[in-house]
Structure 1
C-alpha cells in the first residue's frame, strides 16, 4: 500500500510539473529571442561595448575628445572611424558632453568592480555618417541627401538617443541575473542614469516633434517613427521601440497618444537580449554577421560564444 501511495504521489507531481511546463512554454519567446546563459562578468563585458560606443560618440561629437583624453589609459584598441564634431546648439552640446563624461565614469567603475584592471579592450567602431545612413535602407527609405547624423542638432539627437536607450534596455534585462552586491549596485546605478539620459533626450525631441529636420520635409516625429521601425525590424523580437506618439490604445493606460518614454503595456521598460543588440548595431539583422557600427564585432567571451554557436 505504501508503494502504491508513493507511486500515486510521484504521478501527481509529474502531471503537475508537465502542466507547469506547458504553461511556461506558452509564454516562452521563440529561440532567437531567448537570452544566452552568461556570468555576471560576461554580461558586463558585453555591455562594455555599448558603453564605449556611447562614450566615443558623445565625446567626439560634442567636444572632439576620446575616452583616453578624459581618462588616460582607461581603454586600448583600434581608433574609432568617422566620429565628427557635430553641428549642435550650445544647450545640446553641453548635455551630450555631460553624458559622454558620465559614460567614462561608468567604464571606469566597470574596470574597478568587475575587471580589476585597465586598460580595457576596445572594439573597432565605425561611426561615419554614411554608415549610420545605411539604417534607412532596412525599411527601404531613400533620403536625399543621405542622412547625416552630424549635420544638425535634430539629426544628431534622433540617432544618438539610441546609445542610452540600448544600454537601458540591456541593464533592465540583466539586472535580476547579476550576482554580487557591488555588481548589483553598479547595474542599478547605470540603469538609473541611462534611463534619465534617455528621458532627457526624448523630452528634447518631443519639444521639436512637429518641426522639420533639415534638409528634409519630414518632421522629428516622422523620423522617430522610422527609427522605431528600424530597431524593431532589425531586433526581430517584437515591438520594443516606439515613436514620440502612438495610437491611443497603445498609450499609457490607453488614455494618451503622448509617448515621451517608450514602454510596454504596463509602462515598464522594454528589455532586449544580447542577440537583439548585435542584430541592430551590426545593421545586418544577424547577430553573427558583424558590420555597421561594429565592423569587427564585439569584444568579450559572450559575443565569441554567440558567434561560435552561430546563434543569429
Structure 2
C-alpha cells in the first residue's frame, strides 16, 4: 500500500479531529444530561387513592342494581349511607331495559376494579386500604342543592324539593352517574405522570386500562343524557341545564377542568382541552370535588375522609 493510502489527507484529519472534539464535548456533558432527578415513588399511595374512588363508584352502581351486599363484603364493615327508604338490595325501577343493562354492566366493572386494585396493591407488597364510610344518599341531595345555588336556581338556606335521589328513576340515576364518571377519568389521567412502576401489568399499565374503561362509561352516560337534554327535570331546569350546572360546579372546585354535555350550542360528549386531550386533575382537585369544598380533608361523599393517609399526594 502506498504512503498516500496510509496517511490521512488534510480534510480527513480535520474531520476526524472535529468528531473527536464533538465526542469529547458530549462525553463531558453526558453525566449532566442523563442525571434526571429521582422520581418520588407514590405508587402505593396512588393505588390506594384510586381504590377509595373505586369503592365509591362500585357502591353507587351496585346499590342501583340491588347488589350492595357485594361491595359491603369487601374491605371491612364501614357504613354505606343510602337515601331513606332505599337499602340497595333491590334494583331501582328502571323504565328502560337498556339503561338497566348499562347499569348492570358498569356495576360489574366497578366491582372488578375494586378487586383488581386490591390484588395489584397486594402483589406489589402494599396493603390495600379498607373501604371508608361512603355517603351515596344525602350527599347527592347536598350536591344537587350546591349545584342549584351555583346556578342561582335557589338561594340559601333553601333546598331543592323533593331531595334529589339518584335511585328514583332512570334519568336521576344518569345524573348521579355523571357526577362520578368524568371525575374518575380525570383522576387517573392526572395521576399517571406520578407513577414509577411502568412494568407490564404494573400500576401505570393497570391504571391506564381502568382509565379507558372509565372513559367508555363517561361517554355512555353523557350520550344518554344528551339524548334527553330538553327533558324537564322537575327542578326548574332541563337536563342540559342541570348537567351543565353540575359541570360548572365541578369546574369551580377543580380549577376549571370540566365541560357539560353541550358546548357553544353543540353536542359535547367528549370533554377535552383545545388539543382534544382529556383533562387531568391532581389528587387535590379530585378531593375538592368528592369532598364538596376546596382544600377540605373530608366531606360530601366521604364524610369521614378517605381511608388512608394521602397528605403527600394532596399537597402536590
Could you tell me the TM-score, scaled by structure 1's length?
A: 0.75
Q: Tell me the CA shift for residue 53 of structure 1.
A: 0.2
Q: Is residue 298 of structure 1 aligned with residue 306 of structure 2?
A: yes
How large is the Cα RMSD of the aligned pairs? Answer: 2.7
- In 2, the alpha carbon distance for the partners of 1:229 and 1:261 equals 16
Q: Tell me the CA shift for residue 109 of structure 1.
A: 1.4
Give the number of equivalent residue pairs: 260
Instruction: Pick from 163, 177, 190 the counterpart of residue 146 of structure 1.
Output: 163
For 1:165-200, what per-residue CA distance to the aligned partner results, in whole angstroms no more than 9, with x for missing partners?
211111112224321332232112101111111111
- In 2, the alpha carbon distance for the partners of 1:195 and 1:241 equals 14
For 1:208-261, what per-residue CA distance to the aligned partner results, in whole angstroms no more than 9, with x for missing partners?
111112x334211011111011101122x12x221111126xxxxxxxx22111
**3-state DSSP of counterpart to 2:219:** helix
Q: What residue in structure 2 maps to residue 114 of structure 1?
A: 121
Q: Is the 8 A contact 1:172 1:191 kept in 2?
A: yes
Structure 2: runs of 5+ lacking an equivalent: 1-24, 30-39, 155-159
Q: What residue in structure 1 maps to residue 249 of structure 2?
A: 230
Q: What residue in structure 1 maps to residue 215 of structure 2?
A: 195
Q: Tell me the CA shift for residue 58 of structure 1.
A: 0.2
Q: Is the 8 A contact 1:243 1:262 kept in 2?
A: yes
Matches within 5 A, 1:1-312: 39-68=42-71, 72=73, 74-82=74-82, 84=86, 85=88, 86-89=92-95, 90-116=97-123, 120-128=129-137, 130-135=138-143, 136-137=145-146, 139=150, 140-142=152-154, 143-178=160-195, 179=197, 180-183=199-202, 184-213=204-233, 215-235=234-254, 237-238=255-256, 240-247=257-264, 257-288=266-297, 290-301=298-309, 303-305=310-312, 311=315
Structure 1: runs of 5+ lacking an equivalent: 1-8, 14-36, 249-256
- In 1, the alpha carbon distance for the partners of 2:305 and 2:75 equals 17
Q: What residue in structure 2 maps to residue 29 of structure 1?
A: none
Q: Tell me the CA shift for residue 276 of structure 1.
A: 1.0
- In 2, the alpha carbon distance for the partners of 1:271 and 1:65 equals 30
Q: Tell me the CA shift for residue 306 of structure 1.
A: 6.0
Q: Is the 8 A contact 1:75 1:118 kept in 2?
A: no
Q: Is the 8 A contact 1:161 1:201 kept in 2?
A: yes
Could you tell me the TM-score, scaled by structure 2's length?
A: 0.74
For 1:86-131, what per-residue CA distance to the aligned partner results, in whole angstroms no more than 9, with x for missing partners?
3433321221121111111111111222224887500111111x32
- In 2, the alpha carbon distance for the partners of 1:108 and 1:123 equals 15
Q: Tell me the CA shift for residue 144 of structure 1.
A: 3.1
Q: Is the 8 A contact 1:121 1:299 kept in 2?
A: yes
- In 1, the alpha carbon distance for the partners of 2:220 and 2:171 equals 14
- In 2, the alpha carbon distance for the partners of 1:285 and 1:120 equals 24
Q: What residue in structure 1 maps to residue 21 of structure 2?
A: none
Q: Is the 8 A contact 1:75 1:120 kept in 2?
A: yes
